[in-house]
Every structure is written in C-alpha cells, then in structure tokens.
Amino acid sequence: MNKLKVLDLFCGCGGLSHGFIDAGFEVLIGVDEDEAALKTYEKNHKNSIAYRGDLYNDETIDNIYDMISDKIEVNDGLDIVIGGPPCQGFSLTGSRDINDTRNTLYLAVVKSVRKFKPKAFLIENVPGMATLYKGKVKEQIVNTFEDMGYRVTVTPKPLLAADYGVPQMRKRMFFVGIREDIAEKKGHKFEFPKPILTSDEYITCKEAISDLPSRENELGMECDEYKYEPMSEYQKLMRKNSTTLYNHVATKHTELVKQTIALVPDGGNHKDLPPGVGESRKFNEAWTRYASNKPSKTIDTGHRNHFHYKYNRVPTIRENARLQSFPDDFVFMGTKTQQNRQVGNAVPPLLAYHIAQQIKKYLIED
C-alpha cells in the first residue's frame, strides 16, 4: 500500500515531519526559509526534499507543485498539508476572510490547500491563538477552510505534550481539517488523540536525561560516546537507533554565574536566591532550575534562563532535544544559537506522532 503523502510548510528542523514519518507517512518536501534549520532537516530526513522557499511568495507554492506533482499523481493527489505558521502581526479583517495581505504566512497554508486539495491539513500554533482578538482569529481560520470544503476541528483546549509521553509541559493548539468527501465517508467528526499518560505517570527530567554525561568539568564534543547505560525506558527509546552521542556540548559560564545557579535548589527559581544575588535577571522564568521529578518547562528558543536539575549550567542541545522527544540519532546542524532556536521552535515529534496516528484513521479507506 502506498504511504500517505505529506507537504510540510514552515518545517523548521522537522519535528512535525519526524512524527508523521514515524507514524508511517511519507513526507515529500519540507519548506522553510531558515537555512540552518533546513540543513538539519535535510540531514535527518533523507527521503524528503528540504526546500528553501519564501512562503510569502506565490511562486514558491507553484515551484513546490512542480517539484512533487509526479509523486502525487500516482497516489490520487496529496494526502495532507501540515505546518506551524507564525502568527506575529496577524490582522483581522472579518470573520469569514483570512485573505488579508498581512496574514501572508497563514495564506501560504490556505493557498497550498487550495492548490493541492489534500485530503486533510494540520496547523499547529501557540495557545494564545485561540483567544487572539477574543477568538475571532480562530473563527476566521475555521471559516476560511470550511468555505474551501473542509470540516475543521480545533483542540478544545491546548494539547499538553506531557500527556503524550514528552517530558515537557509544552502546550500547543491544533487545527485539523478533513476534506468534506472524506469526512462524509467516515460519518463522524475528527477527534484528537486521547492522552496516553496521567499526571502521575509523566516522564520526568531525570528519566529523560540522567544518563547523559555531566559536562561539569569539560565542555564535551559535538560527536562523543555514551558513558552510561540507559536508566529509564524513555532513555532506551531515545537511544534506540543511536550508538553515538551528538550535540551534547556544554556552555562555558563565568564563576559568578555558576555560583548563582548553585544557590537555586532542584525545581527552584530566582525567588530562592538570597537578597542582592542574581539581580540582573528577576523576571518570571529567570534562574529556573528544572525539577528532577517533573517534566521540564516549555523549551524556548534561547538557553539563558533554564538550568539543569543537578548541574550548574544551562542544558545542552541534546538535553533539550531529549526533553522535546527528539531521538538521539537526530543531529542538529549550525551554530549553537541556531540549534537552540531549532529545538525550541519544533513540535515535539512524539506529540506529532500521536496526532498523525489519529489523522491516519480518517484518511485510510476502511
């Protein structure tokens, strides 16, 4: 049987793609404008095209069509368009009109769906999208795709990555549209996957990264050997296809920074520091040490405010990748700043996998 075929827009390093591939889909092409992210994408998705394109430009979508048209004709068209377009600068022009020129990034998804007429689409975004302009933006997105012939389901509340085996308290909302003729055959509305873990079963930071070398006394190398056996089922899962440890390089801190981090207890933050210490950073996430017995907080695109639950340093790229559920054989390319941005911007592959498995049920003929 032919695999369901995917177009990934705003693919970044490929968190969504990776999850869909693990669920048995074939990702034909990943599109982004970030060159470093695409190098990572290309390295880790050998059977997919990594295409650098400006999704503001209509020609990009035409070029994509030309590149993959021969592959989708044999499978009765493209099966699904996926992506997580940024929502910065989103403009509201009316509850049934997303076609404002300032909404170009969302328009790329709209235009791609109109061009390819896929069986389904998936859009990922931050929880704030649900309440932007008092919910009017969410309504506008739903109306736009419904007018194009799709039955659209939005997560009733943001999905929590920890519910799906990701050691991270990351929340994201999703839109899934099923083309009307496909939805009619199934006879019921798309439902998002139910959580696979309860709060007392969540994968903790310690369960996720305790097998990785400390890097307290040496920075380490981009490519290294494992020094310890896996200490949890999650670690076994992450190391399943890997014999080499990549991207586990520490950041060099000043003695003052290390001394300050040392004053923060497991799971603590700037509120635990003595008066007068760490005054340069006193905002909500400042001087936050991960809790060893809980999932991590949301991995962001920087790396200066969160610290290892045990060691007096910021997490390495590999540690944050583990907390995002990227397996150890997934290698990040570019500078450390670029790698941090790639990890922080990504959809956790395990979360993507569970959503992909659910979507597959609606796209495969009974």
In a domain, 234, yes or no: no
List helix spans (H) across 78-179. 104-116, 136-147
Q: Is the pLDDT of residue 150 over 90?
A: yes
pLDDT digits (tens, 9 = 90+) for 188-205: 789 999 999 999 999 999
Q: Is 73 part of any domain?
A: yes
Query: What pairs with residue 121 in β-bridges?
Result: 81, 177
Tell me, yes or no, whether 38 lies in a domain.
Answer: yes
Residue with tokens 């040392």: 262
| pLDDT > 60? residue 346 | yes
* Residue 24 in domain: yes
Which one-letter DSSP state was computed for residue 296? B
Q: CA–CA separation, 96 vs 89, rounded Å?
A: 18
- Per-residue pLDDT tens over the stretch 26-44: 999 999 999 999 999 999 9
Distance CA 121, CA 349 (A): 17
Task: Name the catalytic one among 13, 87, 205, 223.
Answer: 87
Choose between 365 and 248: higher pLDDT. 248
pLDDT tens-digit readout, 72-126: 876 678 999 999 887 665 544 444 455 555 555 678 898 999 999 999 999 998 8
Q: According to the model, what pLDDT value does residue 282 have?
A: 58
**pLDDT for res 336:** 93
Residue 228 lies in a domain: no
The closest alpha carbon to 296, from 168, 183, 197, 200, belongs to 168
pLDDT over 50 (residue 244): yes
CA distance 38 to 35: 5
Domain-located, residue 15? yes
Question: What domain count does the chain have?
Answer: 1
The rounded percent of the chain whose pLDDT value lies above 90 is 71
Residue given tokens 């989103």 in the structure block: 90
pLDDT number for residue 19? 98
Containing domain of residue 32, as a range? 5-196+348-363
**What does the alpha-carbon distance between residue 80 and residue 27 come to, in Å, rounded to a whole number?**
9
Say how far apart CA 262 and CA 273 lie, in whole Å: 10
Asked if 121 and 113 count as a contact pair (C-beta separation under 8 A), the reply is yes
87 given a catalytic annotation = yes
pLDDT digits (tens, 9 = 90+) for 207-234: 999 999 999 888 998 899 999 999 999 9
The CATH number for 141's domain is 3.40.50.150
For residue 197, the 8-state DSSP code is: S
For residue range 262-312, list pLDDT tens digits in order: 999 999 988 888 887 866 665 667 789 999 999 999 998 776 789 999 999
Mean pLDDT of 5-17: 97
Distances (CA, A) of 198 to 110, 155, 162, 201, 205: 36, 18, 9, 5, 16
The answer to whether residue 309 is domain-embedded is: no
338: helix, strand or coil: helix
Average pLDDT across the chain, whole number: 90
- pLDDT at position 135, please? 79
Does residue 296 fall inside a structural domain? no
